[in-house]
A and B are shown apart, each in its own frame.
Chain A
Amino acid sequence: SYELTQPPSVSVAPGQTASMTCSGEKLGNRFPCWYQQKPGQSPVMVIYRENKRPSGIPERFSGSISGNTATLTISGTQAMDEADYYCQAWDSGTVVFGGGTKLTVL
């Protein structure tokens, strides 16, 4: 079965750039997207189709892909961005999630 690999945790200082990766075979062909989940809340989509930002999501969130690795970048990270982030891909008509990365804003 298809798998997506994310680092368990990433730390960043306020105002700096946070980068979170997601790796999977031929990920560029699988429409990677990203979700933010804060404690006690439902997930919110922050990036879809690799690099598209839904309305209402701040411009500091961006997505990219290189080879088999997708990256979610948060520029000028704020304390409110502290959350779990999940990548997700579309594999043969099914949804696959990565294990999630806990972003800590120090």
Chain B
Amino acid sequence: EVQLVESGGGLVKPGGSLRLSCAAAGIPFSNAWMGWVRQAPGKGLEWVGHIKVKSDGGTEYAAPVKGRFSISRDDSKDTVYLQMNSLKTEDTAVYYCTTVDMTGFLAYWGQGALVTVSS
């Protein structure tokens, strides 16, 4: 059974930073592209970005987070991270960790981590 478990969500002030973690189980993690999707309260799904496997290299980010957010992975811990800097109130959302197929579908999703950016 595939499990993706996010952690690290919480309340942060505008301009602050937060790091989310996503621990994976049940998948060959080092061969898996991993991504993040967010959902603001009452809104639709919004892609944040994804990270490829080390041999493919590289990351991709959505325009609203480019330059502020970064995704990294530790294959020894089967964990992917989302480092969020210079947070804005509009970044308030549930953040989901997902697997990403090379043709773009998101087969598995975590339970989500709530990030609230407020003063």
- Which residues on A are within 8 Å of B, measured CB to CB? 1, 30-31, 33, 35, 37, 42-45, 48-49, 54, 84, 86, 88-90, 93-100
Chain A residues near B60: list those with CB within 8 A: 93-94
Chain A residues near B35: list those with CB within 8 A: 95
Chain B residues near A35: list those with CB within 8 A: 45, 106
CB distance from B30 to the nearest CB of A (A): 20
Is there an interface contact between B105 and A33, defined as CB atoms closer than 8 Å? Answer: yes
Q: Number of contact residues on B: which range applies?
A: 20 to 34
Is there an interface contact between B111 and A42, defined as CB atoms closer than 8 Å? Answer: yes
Kindly report which residue of chain A lies nearest to residue B52, judged by CB atoms.
A93
Chain B residues near A99: list those with CB within 8 A: 44
Q: How far is the CA of A42 from the CA of B103 in the complex (A)?
A: 21
A-B contacts besides A33-B105, A93-B60, 18 pairs, CB < 8 Å: A1-B63, A31-B104, A35-B45, A35-B106, A42-B96, A42-B111, A54-B107, A84-B44, A86-B44, A86-B45, A89-B104, A90-B103, A94-B47, A95-B47, A95-B104, A95-B106, A97-B47, A100-B44
Is there an interface contact between A43 and B104, defined as CB atoms closer than 8 Å? Answer: no
Chain B residues near A90: list those with CB within 8 A: 103-105
